[in-house]
């Protein structure tokens, strides 16, 4: 009799722990993807387009793109997290000294819409946004055709924390545009 009363509560508690663990994993994955994207941009990889795959680019003999690195990081071995060609990078720019590109920092912000396996009232809502920003010093400057002083449409419109820099910003753009 006691088992019938306790089992549903125990199962709900177990599912809540699993759901919260998956959320923690998603936060760590998005944080690592922001780091990988900033590193790729810091060594001179161009921005690329949503849906790129660094593994496919390397297999074709092409250099990987920032989007390719970020998407592969999110999609690798994590079936519950998928980029599915959506634009996760909301801000990718060089910030700093424009006269000496080697003194710039690259800043990449990733915003990922997350839907928990089991929403937990008061702890995990049915939908939430995970945002991570990573900044790294430039090692190899971007090619001049991969930079723009005007903000690409929609790139940082949702970037709110910390406040986007207002001066000395050069945005990363895909040199050939995205089709």
pTM of the predicted model as reported, rounded to 2 decimal places: 0.82
Strand partners, 120: 124
Q: pLDDT at residue 121 above 90?
A: no
- Give the pLDDT confidence score for residue 75 in this predicted structure: 82
Mean pLDDT of 5-10: 90
**What's the start-to-end Cα distance of the chain, in Å?**
63
Q: Of 109, 91, 110, which is closest to residue 154 (Cα–Cα)?
A: 91
Band of pLDDT at residue 147, cut at 50, 70 and 90: confident
Where exactly are the structural domains of the chain?
A: 2-172
Q: What's the pLDDT tens digit per position in 67-88?
A: 889 888 888 767 667 666 677 7
> How far apart are alpha carbons 55 and 171 in whole angstroms?
25
């Amino acid at each position: 009799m006691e088992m019938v009363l306790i089992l549903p509560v125990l199962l709900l508690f177990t599912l809540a722990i699993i759901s919260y663990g998956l959320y923690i994993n998603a936060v760590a994955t998005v944080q690592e993807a922001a780091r990988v994207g900033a590193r790729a941009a810091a060594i001179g990889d161009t921005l690329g387009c949503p849906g790129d795959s660094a593994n496919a680019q390397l297999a074709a003999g092409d250099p990987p793109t920032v989007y390719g690195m970020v998407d592969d990081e999110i999609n690798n071995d994590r079936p519950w997290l998928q980029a599915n060609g959506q634009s996760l990078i909301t801000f990718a720019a060089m910030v700093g000294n424009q006269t000496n590109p080697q003194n710039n920092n690259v800043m990449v912000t990733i915003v990922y819409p997350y839907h928990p396996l089991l929403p937990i009232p008061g702890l995990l809502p049915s939908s939430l946004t995970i945002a991570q920003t990573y900044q790294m010093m430039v090692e190899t400057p971007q090619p001049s055709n991969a930079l723009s002083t005007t903000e690409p449409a929609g790139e940082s419109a949702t970037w709110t924390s910390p406040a986007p820099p207002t001066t000395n910003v050069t945005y990363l753009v895909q040199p050939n545009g995205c089709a």
